[in-house]
Structure formats: C-alpha cells, structure tokens
A and B are shown apart, each in its own frame.
Chain A
Amino acid sequence: MAAVLPSAAPDAAEFTTFGSLTALVPRAIEPLGPQYLSHARRVLRGRTWSEDERIQSELNVKSVEDVDGDDEEEEEEDPAMLAHDPKEWKSQDHYAVLGLSKYRYRATDEQIRRAHRKKVLKHHPDKRAQAGNAEDDGFFKCIQKAMEVLSDPVRRRQYDSVDEAANVAAPSKKSKGNFYKLWGAAFEAEGRFSKKQPVPTIGDENSTKPEVDHFYNFFYNFDSWRTFEYLDEDVPDDSDNRDHKRHIERKNKAARQKHKTEDTARLRKMVDDCLSIDPRIKMFKEAEKKAKEQRKWEREADARKAAEEAKKAKEEAEKAAKEAEEKAKEDREQAKKAKESAKNAKKKNRRVVKGAVKDANYFVEGTASGAAIDAALSDCDAILEKIDDSALAEFVKKLTGLSDAGAIKAVFGETAGALGGSWKVVA
C-alpha cells in the first residue's frame, strides 16, 4: 500500500519551518559491518553523504575497469602513430602508444604496466621478425619511450602537464548548452593539476551557497603542480660550447616561467568567466537581497510597531486626563449643590425654630410683652448661633408637631441646657 500525500491549500507557502528536532542522543555505533566502514570513511575524510557516494561510485567504476582491463577491447592503432619516428619521442602521444588514450592522466600504474606488457608482446622485434619485417622496430622504441616517461612519476607529471589531449577547453562566456556540464568538464580536467585532492566539483543548480563558495575559492587559490619542462628546447651536451649551453638553459628557464605565468592567468580568467555567468551566483544574490529586504522589513516593522504603540499610549493618557478633569468638575458641582441644599435646610430649620418660639407665645402666659418677645428671640438667636447642623436637625425634629407652649419650652430648655451658657428665658 503506497502512502498518498494530502493536497495543499492554494495559497500555502513553499516551505515553512515550525520546530526543531528533539535533542539527539549520543551513542556508540558498533564498529563493524560494511556500512560502518563507509561511515568511518565519511567521518575521517570529512565527506558529506553525497560526496562520498559519488567518489565511491567513481572508484567502483575504476576498479571494475581495472579488473576487466585484460579483456578490454584494444584501442585501434593509428598507422601514422605506428610510423612515428622514435627520435621524435617528445611529440608522440605516450598514452595512445600504450593504447590508453581514453584514460590518460587517470590511468593507474597497474594499467600502464599491463598496457605496456600487452604492447610489448604485440610489437616485440622478435615477433615482427616472424612476420618478416625485423628491421622495423621503430614503434617498439616508441613503446619503450612511452613506458620510460609514464612509469617515472616525475616525468609523467611533466608530460601530463602538457598533455593537450587531456585538456578540456573552457567554454566561452557565450557558449550555449548546459552550464554545469560544459564548465564542469573543463574544471574537472583542470582539477588534475591540483596538489590538493579531492577537488570540489562544480555541482549543480541544487548546490548550496557554501558548496559553490568552496568551489570558487578552491579554484581561485588553486595550488597547481603543472610544470613546463617538457617543452624545453634540448640542451646540447657538447662541452665545447658552454656559453651556448648556458644560453639555452636560461632560455628554457624563462620559457617555463612564462608558461607558468600564462597558465595561472588562463585559469584565473576561466574562473572569472565561469563565476560571472554562474546562474547560482545570481540566485544567491537574489536570495540574499530578498533576505535582506525581509530583514529590513522586519526591522522596520519593529519601528512601525513602536511608533504605533507610542501614539496609542499618548492618546490614552490624554483621554485619561480629560476624564479625570471632568470628574473633578462634577465632584465640585456636586459639593456645591450639597452645600446649597444644606444651607437651605438650615434656613428652613431656623424658620421652624423661630416659628416655634412664636407658637409658644414667646414662653409667656397671655399677651407677650415687647421685652418678653425680645428676650425669647434673643435666646432663640443665641441657640441658633451656638448649635451645629446635626443638633439643629435633631432640635427641629423634636419641635415638629408640638403645639403646646410648655412642651415647646421644655424642648428649648433641653437644647439650650445641652449647649450650655446663660439664657434669659429658656433655661
């Protein structure tokens, strides 16, 4: 049963991250089994999973070729090559002579040994003698020369340095076609000159920025073993003309230097060219720009948010102040009203008290005399002067409903007594 994925919402983002892995647990892998060997190789060589896969599969191809080497189809021998003058050995294609054209610098020592043995068996003068052309041992000499060069690591490097047939011309900036294939092949060929191995590959459109950076850095800091001795003009070994000899030697040295400088410049231009049109660089720049804009936007978003918050805070403060002010005003008015009503109540109470004095006939029997009225009213005024608001209210309450002069007088007396002081009439 195959697992089916759900459909996505139409506006879903391409990639969203929500969380990270639960912390990994350190454990020991048992160091055995074929896969542990691969693991160890990856760890010790610092290879990523995919790098290791590629390198190993290349190695496998190579070892299969090695194993099958013996029954491999023999390369065709070009008649022009067979006729090559062994004295002109410098211009011969050593790999082609041994039938290793398709391997060139990749040929292993073992392959070279085997190829040499095969060619010797085929072209040995003794064999030729049987075929009736014993004189013609030219190609056999070419074979021996090729072996001489290719079996000596120093001389092989010198030859590999100038092995045009192994070069892959760098594409021009305008070359049409698959960028990675075209340039990848050129850089791969170039990589053979690196003292540092393995050489990073160009990768593809899925390579990460560090991978791409590593690739260019590697080639910008390329440490090449390429040398140009092979192109030297032969130094005559006649001891008679020592000046001439020295002259040639100097010329060779200068030529080597010049070649080397040119080669370095050539590679540099190649890297420049490739970098300038590498679609990934543009992509990374755009991604970087986007990221920057995003960061900027985020930064600005912060600022925006801060401003909004400040404004809101200010508005709120203003509103609060206004409300407080209004409340204060209201409180004041309320207080005024309360005071007024208290005043009115007091006035009314005073009227009641004064009315009661009158109702009590000024505290005398019969018609009150002017002096009695005065005395009663003066006592009443004195009381009203002394008494506080609550006592006054109490006093009025007691008076309310009384009509009997004696009772009224008694209330007056009681109140006055409580207030203390001297009274003319009431006490």
Chain B
Amino acid sequence: MSEEQQTGDGAMTVIGVSFGNANSSISFTGSDGNVDIIANQDGDRSIPSTLAYVKEDEYHGLQAKAQLIRNSKNTVTNFRDYIGKQFSEIDPTYSHRSAHPVENAGKVGYQLDVLPEEGAEPKFFSVEEVAQIHLRRLRESAEDFLGKPVTGAVLTVPTDFTQKQREELKQIATEAGIPVMQIVSEPVAALLAYDSVTYGAFPKDRIVVVADFGYTRSDAAVIAVRGGMYTVLATAHNYELGGASLDETLADHFAKEFEKKNGIDPRKESARSIAKLIAECEVTRKTLSNSNSSTISIESLAGGFDFHSTINRLRFEMLARKQFDNAVSLVEDVVKKAGLDVLDVDEVVLVGGSAQTPKILSRIEAIFPETTKVASPSGKALNPAELIARGAAVQASLIAGFEQSDIDESLQPLVANAPHLAKSVGVVTADGSFVPVLESYTAVPIRHSAVFEVPAEGGDVLVGIYEGEREIVTRKVESIKEDKDEEDDLDDEEEFSDEEDEETREKVLKPATKLAEAVVKGTKAGGKVEVVINITADLKVSVAVREVGSGAVRGELPAAEVQK
C-alpha cells in the first residue's frame, strides 16, 4: 500500500454500503472519526431493499415496502441474492408475495407495469437494473446527507457470494454512480466494526463466531482474529431461517385464531389478506423483542372482519421453537465445520435484524460455556442490524487515501493468501503448563514476543519452546438440585438436564512437541525474560531469548513447510 498522506481537504467522500435482501444501510465516518449510519429522506436508517411502481411513479425503501399490500405484482424485493445468477440457479421462495422473477433473453428479472397508458404491456426490468436503481437511490440519500458527491465506497456481500456475483455487483454499483473501492464479506465487516469500537486498531487475539440472522436467510462464520488480522475458518448458511420464517409462524398462529372466530382463513382469502397479516406480524414480532406482550390489530383482514388479539413473548417463543432450534444448529454446525469445540470459541457476535430476538440470544448463549462472551451488542455503535454497514464505513475510511491501483494490489491472492500456523507455539513454565507466544491460526510472516518471570532466586533459566495442543477434559460434578421457577413449565424440556449429574468440560493447553531449548545465563532475582519468535515470509523460524535489558540468546529452527 502507498504511504502517501491522505488527501485532506475532503477530496475523498467515501461511504460504506450494506446491501441485504431485505434491508440496506449506508454509513460514513465523520470528521470526529466516529462511524454513523445515514438515514434516507424518509428518516430510515434501515432502508428496505424494495422498489415499487405505480404506473410511472417509482417508490423506494419503506414506501415501496408498503406497496406489498396493495400492489405486490409491481413491487420488487428480496432480489440481492439473484445478482449474477442464471434463472435456473435462483431460489424464488421469497418472491412469492411480490413481483415474481421471470426469465427474459437469458436474464432474470421482473415484468412491471410502469407505463402510464391504460392496458399497456408490462416492461421487463432485469435484476441488475432493479439493483442499480436501488443503489442509485442509496447514493442519492448519502449525497443528500453529506452534501458532496460520493467518490468511493466499500460494499458488503455474504460469504457465499461467488466471484461472478461480486463482479456483477461491482459493475452495477459503478453504473449507479458508486465507485467501488472494495467488496468485503459481511461477517468480517461486522466484526471489524465491533472490534474498532471495542478495541481500536489492535483487537484481541481470539476465535469469534459471527452469527447473522437476517430476513430471508441466516449465516454464520468462525473467524480467527490474530494480530488484528481476520481469517475465516468456516462458514455455514441456512436459507430458510430468518425474519421471514418467524413472521410466517406468527401469521399461521393468528390465522388459526381468526378462522376459529370468523370461520375464514385469511391465508386462503386473498394475497392482500396475507400481505396485511404478514406485515402486522412483523411489527408484533419486533415489539416482542422489547416487551413481554404485544397487541395486533388489523382492519378488515378477511371477509370484512377486523382482527384484534394479543400475544405474549413466551407464547411466541413456543410457537417458533423450531426456528430457534435451527438457529442453534447453525451455530453448532459452523463450529464443527471449523474443527473446533464450543470451548474454543472466545466470543460470539450476533448480527442482523432478527438477532435482536431475545430468545435467539439466550438459546445461543446456552450452548457455550460461561467463558465464552456472547454479545448481542447493544448501544448505538453496536446495533446488530447496523454492524455490517458500520464495518464497511470503517474499511472505506481506512483505504480512502490510497490509489485504487494500490488497493487492488493489496487484494491480490499473493498478499491475502498466507500460510497459517497449524498449532500454537509457546513456552513451558516451571509448573509444566504451556503458555502460547504465537497462537494457532496466526498468519506468517509474524513476529511476536512474550515476557516471563525468572525463578525467585534468578540464575540460569531454561526456556523450552514447544508446539502446544489443546485438550478437552471432562469431569463429573454432582448436581445441586435447584428449585424450579413455576413459570418455567412452558419451557421445561430444556431444564431436565439440571436433574442429572452434570459434566463440566474444560479446555487445557498442553505442550506437545518440543522444538527447542534456550538457556538464559545468570538472570537477576526478580528479573524478566523476553521470548521473541519470528517467522519470516520464507518460513525461517528464529527464536531470541533475553533477560529484559541484556543481550539475546538466538537460535534458528529448521525452516517450516506449508501443507500441500
């Protein structure tokens, strides 16, 4: 990357854009260095990725989403995942209640009535055109707020977006007047935003699961954070889990209730009844994230009958138990795919609009040990629904000062692909325990040091350098019988395990393979020894050990190799 100073004078105006199937957000870094989300002209920070036409009038965002009830045929939504795909490759499940995707001249798109004349033929809009209009609207909102043209942007995509889809998106954004500096992965962008608020430029080394619960889909990734660099170890997806499936569950419940009362199933009545019900279910569900109960009222839902009802959170959580099970499985799966144990996960960061559902947080918390921090980030800067967009703005401001050619150069596989340590490397202490100096999954080249104490009397000190291995030890613990809360009987299946003898599982680091031994002669009582391990790009491994404040003992290990 070039070292040129950032061109001051506001010559660069860069933004971050998160583009979801359901919602999009635009973000920027203010002059105070803080990231914020830009609200559009309607005041929405989370802008529905939806476009609707009433004849020649174009609606965008929340206004377009409202058209799903009256004008679903000419309302396009949930199209982000269609970008760069053939008709045969798309899953149109989430287009049932809006304009249906069709194939036209090899392209996926929609037939929309946009012409003013009565009885005019509908016009074909390809997914690329729809996306372009959407992104142009986002850019206009940003420019409206910033008062300056946007000169660069970082866009986010899910980890399963193909190279072709990324290129297509870049093309679309460019045509929408958004110069794309870089396209980044959603979970990593979210983690970057989280880390830059929590740690600044030097995030702690740890293993993080980022779990994103959206509208059409939910995604999870295991990310190793090492020396402030992010390496994705595994990803998992569930294309049937998200706000949409939760809305569906709630709609089924209310539909049955309505039918019992009025003898009409609103789901069979009309597309309009369904759309009304679904829309209100979403509102109810969001209310339940913050309150213990919620009312729902829909005028003239079906057959001319109004609908009024209430539901409490517990009831909803019972209805949606299967979805919550799936949320847990998604997280368990991704940990397994990474070849890890839940004990290896230091932190879980929940992302996406639906991650604000309290039961999702508590169910996921329950599968991890107490030592794992499960963050359902709250507070403005860490809102799960905004984290991805915020991360894009962080990255955008980091690279704003560079030439595009420098940015492109830094994205080459030559730079991004690096050998990673298979095991941790560290030192065995007097009590035989293993203290890592370099963690496993650390990318090479790396230089890292750690400071140790010498024995009380000082003297010659042995520094044994080992590769470490983590072991899981299981111990049986007599359970303490607890009085159960009365209200728990709705939820009791999960509590049964409390009756049995519990096993506690613990992670232990152990020295596995001895690599080298160094001796520091004649250390002072109370002295400290620094151990520096340096692995160069050509895989030379050297160790330097010194009493802090004096010369070093150095040695080299046989050059390392990379797995084929």
| A positions within 8 Å CB-CB of B | 2-10, 12-37, 39-44, 46, 48-50, 59, 63, 66, 205-206
Q: How far is the CB of A79 from chain B (nearest CB, A)?
A: 37
> A residues within 8 A CB of B558?
17, 19-20
0/1 string, B527-548, CB within 8 A of A gives 1: 0010000101101010110000
* Nearest residue, chain A, Cβ from B223: A30
- Give Cα distance in the complex from A205 to B559, angstroms: 23
Q: How far is the CB of A56 from chain B (nearest CB, A)?
A: 8
> B residues within 8 A CB of A18?
514-517
Could you say which of A3, A20, A32 contacts B189, with CB atoms under 8 Å apart? A32
Given the interface pairs A12-B517, A17-B557, the reply to whether A43 lies near B228 with Cβ below 8 Å is no
Chain B interface residue count, Cβ-Cβ cutoff 8 angstroms: 94
Q: State the majority secondary structure of interface residues on A.
A: mixed
Query: Is B301 in contact with chain A by the CB < 8 A criterion?
Result: no
> B residues within 8 A CB of A6?
428-430, 455, 461-462, 464
Given the interface pairs A15-B553, A30-B184, the reply to whether A41 lies near B562 with Cβ below 8 Å is no
Q: How far is the CB of B68 from chain A (nearest CB, A)?
A: 35
A39 and B443 contact, CB distance less than 8 A: yes
Beyond A25-B562, A41-B1: 17 further Cβ-contacts under 8 Å? A3-B429, A3-B435, A4-B452, A5-B429, A5-B463, A7-B459, A12-B519, A15-B553, A16-B517, A19-B467, A24-B419, A25-B563, A26-B417, A30-B184, A37-B1, A42-B445, A49-B446
- Give Cα distance in the complex from A77 to B517, angstroms: 60
Q: How far is the CB of B444 from chain A (nearest CB, A)?
A: 6
A5 and B410 contact, CB distance less than 8 A: no
Query: Is B510 in contact with chain A by the CB < 8 A criterion?
Result: no
B422 and A44 contact, CB distance less than 8 A: no
Query: Is B103 in contact with chain A by the CB < 8 A criterion?
Result: no
> A residues within 8 A CB of B443?
27, 29, 39
> A residues within 8 A CB of B177?
none
Q: How far is the CB of B203 from chain A (nearest CB, A)?
A: 8
B201 and A34 contact, CB distance less than 8 A: yes
> B residues within 8 A CB of A36?
228-230, 410
- Give Cα distance in the complex from A3 to B513, angstroms: 20
0/1 string, B508-522, CB within 8 A of A gives 1: 000001111111110
- Give Cα distance in the complex from A26 to B462, angstroms: 33
Q: How far is the CB of B233 from chain A (nearest CB, A)?
A: 8
- Give Cα distance in the complex from A75 to B518, angstroms: 52
- Give Cα distance in the complex from A35 to B521, angstroms: 36
- Give Cα distance in the complex from A18 to B428, angstroms: 15
B422 and A27 contact, CB distance less than 8 A: no
0/1 string, B416-438, CB within 8 A of A gives 1: 11111111010111110101000
> B residues within 8 A CB of A50?
447
Q: How far is the CB of B206 from chain A (nearest CB, A)?
A: 14
Given the interface pairs A32-B189, A44-B1, the reply to whether A4 lies near B562 with Cβ below 8 Å is no
Q: How far is the CB of B436 from chain A (nearest CB, A)?
A: 11
Q: How far is the CB of A427 from chain B (nearest CB, A)?
A: 96
Given the interface pairs A35-B201, A37-B399, the reply to whether A206 lies near B554 with Cβ below 8 Å is yes
> B residues within 8 A CB of A23?
422, 560-563
B460 and A7 contact, CB distance less than 8 A: yes
* Nearest residue, chain B, Cβ from A27: B420
The CB with the most chain A CB atoms within 10 A, among B399, B411, B418, B520, is that of: B418
Query: Is B147 in contact with chain A by the CB < 8 A criterion?
Result: no
> A residues within 8 A CB of B541?
20-21
Q: Which 9 A-B pairs have the closest CB atoms?
A: A35-B228, A24-B419, A15-B555, A40-B410, A8-B462, A20-B558, A49-B447, A8-B460, A30-B230
Q: How far is the CB of B201 from chain A (nearest CB, A)?
A: 5
Could you say which of A4, A14, A49 contacts B453, with CB atoms under 8 Å apart? A4
A26 and B563 contact, CB distance less than 8 A: yes
Could you say which of B203, B420, B462, B555 contacts A5, with CB atoms under 8 Å apart? B462
A4 and B414 contact, CB distance less than 8 A: no
A27 and B417 contact, CB distance less than 8 A: yes
- Give Cα distance in the complex from A28 to B431, angstroms: 37
Given the interface pairs A17-B557, A31-B411, the reply to whether A22 lies near B422 with Cβ below 8 Å is yes
B562 and A39 contact, CB distance less than 8 A: no
